[in-house]
Amino acid sequence: MPANSKESIRGAVSVKEICTALQISRRTFYEWRAKGKAPDCWALPNGELRVYRDVYEDWLKGLEAEAA
Of 13, 37, 35, 15, residue with least CA distance to 26:
15
pLDDT at 8 (0 to 100): 54
Q: What CATH code is assigned to 3-67?
A: 1.10.1660
pLDDT at 10 (0 to 100): 75
pLDDT per residue, tens digit, the chain (68 aa), is: 344 445 456 789 999 999 999 999 999 999 999 999 999 999 999 999 999 999 999 999 999 999 98
Q: What length is written for the chain?
A: 68
pLDDT at 7 (0 to 100): 46
**What's the CA gap between 10 and 53, in Å, rounded?**
9
Query: What residues does each domain of the chain span?
Result: 3-67
A 10 A CB-CB count for 28 gives 13
Of 7, 67, 18, residue with least CA distance to 40:
18
pLDDT at 31 (0 to 100): 98
